[in-house]
Each structure stands twice: as C-alpha cells, then as structure tokens.
Amino acid sequence: MSRFAQVWRTSTVRLTATFIAIFSVFAILLMAFIGWQSSIQIQRQQTDDIDREVRLFQRIEAMQGIRALAFSVNRLSTQPGPGLYFLGDASGLMLLGNVSDVPPEVLIEPGIYSFDYERPNPWGDDASGPDAPRRSGVAVVRSVELSNGMRLVVGRDVVERRGYSAIILQSFLLGVAGIILFSTIAGGITARRVLRRIDTIRDTSTKIMSGNLSERVPVTRRNDEFDGLATNLNAMLDRIEQLLQGLKEVTDNVAHDLKTPLTRLRSKAEAALRDTASDEARQEALEVVIDESDRLIRTFNALLMIARVEAGAPSGALSDINISDIVADVAELYGPVAEDAEIDVTAEIEMDVTLKANRELIGQAMVNLLENAIKYARPDDGARGRISVGLKRSADTVQIVVADNGPGIPEADRKRVLERFVRLEQSRSEPGSGLGLALVNAVARLHGGQFRIEDNEPGVRAVLELPSG
C-alpha cells in the first residue's frame, strides 16, 4: 500500500479533508452570493439613475419648456460617460442625442428595454467626419412620451457593469482557488502534526510490546490533548510496570516461603516412615506436618482474602458498626499474648465511634497490626517493649493507631512493606508470610481510606485512616 493510501485511511486526514470541503463550499457560496448581490446593486443603481434623469427631464419640460429640455439633453449627450440620450419628435425622428439607432419598438411603446447600440465617440483621436470612431455596446434604457408627444429615451451602457461583474467573477474564482489552496496546506500541516504525535505513541507502544517496559510516550510543553493522553498512558505504564515487578517479587517470595515448609513436610514424613523410627518420633513428625500445613493454609487464606478485598468483593456487605468495640476487643484479646512476650499494651480508645465498614475485615486488620507489633516491639537496648492502641475521630476521618517502641522501619522501606510477601528480615527466621500489612493496606483502600507507616521515635506508628462519612 502506498504512503498516500496509508495516510488517506487515517481518520485525521479524512476529517481534515471533510473540513476543507465544507469550508470551501461555504466560502464559495458566500462569495457567489456577495458577487450576485453586488451585480444586482449596480444594476439597481443604474436603473435608479435612469429614472431620476427621466423625472428631471419631465420636470424641465413641464416647467421651462421644450427649449430648456433640448438644451439639457444636448449638454448631457456631449459629456463623457455611460449615459445614452435620445430626443425625437412624435414620429420618432431624432432631434438630439448621442445614439441614433434606437429600435422602433422602443419609440412606439414606452417602457424599459435592452438593445445593442452604436454611437459616435466624440472623445477619440478623430472626433469628426464620416470616419469618426464609433462606440458600440449594450444599453438598458427607459422610453417615455412627453406631454407634447415627443419621444425621450434615457439609458446607460451596461458593458461597464458587465466588466465590473467580470472583475467580481475573476476575483471570486481567484479567492476560491486561494481558499482551497491554503485550506489544503493548512489541513496538510495539521494532519502531519497529528499523525506525527500518533506515530510517536504507536512507536512507543511497539517498543513496549517488544519487551522494553521502561519506554514512555514523550510529553511536550504544549499541554494539549495529546499531552494529556500521553500523561495518562505513562501513568498506566508506570502502574503496569509496578504490577509486573510486584508479580515477579510475589512469585519469588512465594517460591521461597513455600519451599521451606514443603521441604520440612517431606523430611518429617520420610523420617516418620523409617523402620527405625519410634512411636514418639512419628508422633512428633505428624505434629510438625500439621503445624507446617496450618502455616501454608494461613498463607493461602491471606492471599485469598487480599485478592477478594482488592477485587471489591468483601465477605459481607458494608454496614454501620461500632468500631470502638472492635478495637477494644482485639486489644484486650492480645493483652495476655503481649504480656507473655514481656510487652506492655496500653489503649486510648474513643468510645461509641461508628462508621460504615465490614466488621470481619476491620477486625482482621487490627489482628494483623497487633501481631506485627508484638513480633517486632523489642527495643535493641533490651528494654521492655511497649505497644499503644489508639482510636480517635475527627471531622471527616476515623484513625486507628498501633504504635510500638521497637527498632522501627527505615523510611525508604515504609511503602515497600505494604506489598505482598515483603519481609525486611532477610533471614526469615521469624514466623510469618509478609502478607499482614498488605492485607491492612487492601482493607484501607476498600473502605476509601489509607494506611501509612510513620516514625514513632523509636519504633513504628501504623495509622489506619478511614472516612467517617
């Protein structure tokens, strides 16, 4: 397919061509109307001039007599210009004027006529004699019969008017050609610029499809609709790249986290099947298998719950709940667990705070926050750990805060720990799957809120902020 055919098939070029066609037709019609109206106005002006002179001659004849009329006709006949004059007797014989070959029907029946004429040109190089130059043309005249029976014919040469109409037509054609030419040039430039931007987007998408996910659509300084589209596309590409990177990390972490318990399961099962294994060893192996199986089930349950929450399909509809009771119950439930770990738990909960939320998911989020705090609320100096649980309501939000005095999380890792399977403990000696905070973050997004990690100086301050409306 030729380049022209490819360009013509694009919507931009077709729309541009349609616009040029509509604009050209409108301009042609407008200019034709202007030319037609101009020609009509000139013709009307000539007719008005003829009628005005006829009335003037009739007034002169009525008030001053035939001699004054003859003098006026003779004076106007000898002046240069498009005026045509004829004064004849009752039989039509010419007495005065600058045109003699008036058709008989013009003299017989008064009215408006048009005919070809020929008259002497008194302003030529040789204005006298039989070989004097003559002027011919087309005339529009009005014929009247005077009160004394004489015939008066007054007219105008329309060749000049037709010449002016020809000038209008010529200008009209030139204007139409200019409009089409410049519209085509302007449309071609516009189409080229649009196609260039579209080609840039297509080339970028081709590079991305080939595997280069770091490519982005260029954004200019024009801040036009293409820049808006490019900005949205780049934001989408950034999100896709983040999701793919997260998927890669999730895959790696799942493989790492599942490989260890599955290896333990197999080792314990093999040990239990040995002939030399005692009943106590087999009992211990079965207990380990059950524990590892429970850990795997908890990991998969957490993954399923996160997926369900992120899909916007929580287990149960949102309803008005007393969130103060939920936070207080979870804090009281984990008090003995924290005490066994030599950690003090304090609570400062505003009572009777209600909001529209899912009870199960809010409770699970609180459980994850407290379990995470109990796991890491161990200061490096060996001091006793402390956890504070808070709930307060403001004008627009409800904040659940769980803070500890542990070693804390570096600022660079505070957003990363909200992703799935991210564990800052590289050795992974502590139990866990790295899904707790990811679930809390998903619950916050589901309820239209946000979850963030802040510095407690020392320790971590986990803030779950939900809209109160």
pLDDT digits (tens, 9 = 90+) for 263-289: 777 887 777 777 676 777 778 777 777
* Digit-coded pLDDT (tens) for 191-229: 777 778 778 888 888 888 887 878 888 888 878 777 888
Asked if residue 357 lies in contact with residue 313, where contact means CB atoms within 8 angstroms, the answer is no
**CA–CA separation, 1 vs 104, rounded Å?**
72
pLDDT band at 429 (very low <50, low <70, confident <90, very high): very low
Tens of pLDDT, residue by residue over 63-122, are 888 889 889 888 888 887 778 888 888 888 888 888 888 888 888 888 888 888 877 665
Judge contact between 159 and 137, C-beta under 8 A: yes
Contact status, residue 73 vs residue 94, Cβ threshold 8 Å: no
Read off the pLDDT of each residue in 409-413 and give the average, rounded to a whole number: 78
DSSP 3-state of 445: helix
C-alpha gyration radius of the chain? 51
Closest CA to 89 of 155, 139, 156, 146: 146
Q: Compute CA distances 307 → 193, 253, 317, whole Å.
A: 44, 17, 16
Weakest-pLDDT range from 239-253, 261-275, 417-431 = 417-431
Cis peptide upstream of residue 458 (ω within 30 degrees of 0): yes
94 φ/ψ angles, rounded to the nearest 5 degrees: -70, 130
Q: Which residues share a beta bridge with 115?
A: 139
* Structural domains in the chain, sorted by start: 1-123+134-215 (3.30.450.20), 227-310 (1.10.287.130), 319-467 (3.30.565.10)
- pLDDT of 4-60, one tens digit each? 565 566 666 677 778 778 877 887 788 778 778 877 887 788 888 888 988 998 888
Residue 38: partners with Cβ closer than 8 Å, 6 or more residues away: 165, 168
Q: Can you tell me the distance from the alpha carbon of 255 to that of 299, in angstroms, rounded to the nearest whole number?
A: 12
Find tokens 């037609």 and name the residue: 36
- Bridge partner residues of 137 (DSSP): 117
**Within its chain, how far is the Cα of 288 from the centroid?**
61
Q: Give the pairing of strands 385-393 and 343-349.
A: parallel
Q: List, in sequence order, every residue forming a beta bridge with 152; answer none if it has no partner.
A: 87, 144
Helix ranges restricted to H, 274-398: 279-310, 323-333, 335-340, 359-376
Q: Which helix (H) or strand (E) holds 114?
A: strand 111-120
Instruction: Judge whether 83 and 50 are in contact, CB under 8 Å.
Output: no
At 214, is the secondary structure helix, strand, or coil?
coil
